Structure 1
Amino acid sequence: MSSPSEEPVPTTPSPLPPSTAVIHDLGYRSYTGPRLGEPAVARAFFVTGLRNSYGLGRSGRSKVLPMILLGVMLLPALILVGVLVQAKNLLGLDDQIVAYSTYPITTQLLISVFVASQAPALISRDLRFRTITLYLARPMRRTTYVLVRLASLTVATFVLVAAPLLLMYVGGLLAGLPLGRETGRVLGALVGAALLAACLSGLAALVSALTIRRGLAVAAVIVVLLVSYTVVSTIQGISLDSGHGTVGQVAGLFSPYTLVNGVQVVLFDAPEATATPPSGAGMGLLYLATTAVVVVGSVGAMLARYRKVAA
């Protein structure tokens, strides 16, 4: 037993083993190539948005709905072309079975579902997952982001609407319909398709930008597009029966489908697809002005909305 006066003997730590770590020169250096800037970013962003609208570059599940809608949009046009080509002489047909300008209203449910499903995918998702902060960190302004997103959705919607019209046009030429007449009509219908795509995309994008929940945005867009048409067509039918056609013409301003069809009637003397189409120069100018207000107003409202988004 040690005595209390003894002091503890200090111990020296054992030497550490020699280190085997090696510093590697990986050769990292700063980028010295050309910087393409905002225009290149905007082009790539537009192409990506257009591809994503049809599920290209996304998961297989994302491709199902837009591709089905595109196929179902083309199917009635293909059937009409088949009947026109095969039974033109038998049925005494000398015109398209369904006019180019009325086809979008006939298939409005499919168009509305497409816009309602793809607008939140392009708009609401960026806000919900905060990827908008990454986009704005690049050399791309908020104005460019809004315009490119709207352009992607508009072109995707235009492709959906215009594809069956072009199919009907080719079928009409194969059936021997007059080339000049069919070309003029289909060009007017394509202008109407572009205006319809711009109106629908602007409204759908604006609704989608107001919420980060995709399901809520989808439901809201469908309500705005389909319910508005149902209410407008009901008012037009009642006004026609009661002899108050002017009321029905004014009501046509409150649905994108009736609005654009009215513009086609005014500009291209297209077949009427509503109960009370616009008549007279004054009403025609009102339809044109309202279309411009919807398109430009949607863009302006989107820009105002994104000024409040934190980068």
Structure 2
Amino acid sequence: MADPPFELLPTRWEKPVTNFLLNLRGREKVEVVTTDMWKPYRKAVKIAMPQAVLVVDKWHVMRMANDAMETARRVYQGGQGISKETRKQLKKGWSIFLKRPYQLSPKQLLDLDGWLKNTPELAGAYECKEQFMDIWKARTATNALARLNHWRDNIPPHLYRLFKPVVTATTNWEAEIMAYFTTGRQWTNAATEARNRVVKMTNRIGAGYSFNAIRARALFGKRPGRVAKEKKDAQAEPAPASPRYLECVSCKALVPRGDHWKYDEYYVDGHVFEVAALCADCARFNTEEWFGAEGHSTPKSE
């Protein structure tokens, strides 16, 4: 499992990123930095970590080729003379044009073959996209650069405008893209991008979360793997006559009885039954002002 993030900045502009990196402990020992194609990042790394090799993650470069393919599909789909049923099928099967052949099922491969044989407009864009993706099959930087140059020199004229953003990006960031191969084809910021996606989803769901709230959630929130492990460990123990664990209604982790924040309970024949409980981690976000004096209701909504 990838290490969790250790800091989030409120902006990604050059000055704050540079200041952060300059104050990062051990920055002089950093050997490789992976990032996307954002110029302020490149400038910040060159200032704060001049000894480090900057690697542009291949995912960001490949995504640009997929964006070009998606544009070609949308243009064809919205063109004149295209039947309603064809538009519907293209919209439904959009993903088969973006995946590599080995990622497709036999049914999807058959559908893709049908589209490419019957729509030259899409076939040309797809072949150009796949040739670009094949650059990352190269085992050395020399071979990769040769493939990249060959691809840029042989884009069909009618597709050049479609793939021009890819050509521009691979020209401006050629050294950093090729660094992926010179550093051993192992460096990627995929874990960061995955975490970034979760943060963005959380922000959308929150519909108004402040930056501090998002930062606290990303840095200090209980990780899913930890929750699953705690629950598994608790369930593996023999169940006593009286349950030793309660499930937190917020994060679903199992916490020892007595080591939690009870906020609702009732009595049957003198026995106490907890209806809901919060673990210590989740309870730290709650104070007495959220709960009534009797502990049976919440006067305010979180």
Normalising by the smaller structure, the TM-score range is: under 0.3
The structure with higher relative contact order (CA 8 Å, sep 6+) is 1
Q: TM-score, normalised by structure 2?
A: 0.25
Q: TM-score, normalised by structure 1?
A: 0.25
Which has more strand, going by share of residues? Answer: 2
User: Whose Rg is larger?
Assistant: 1
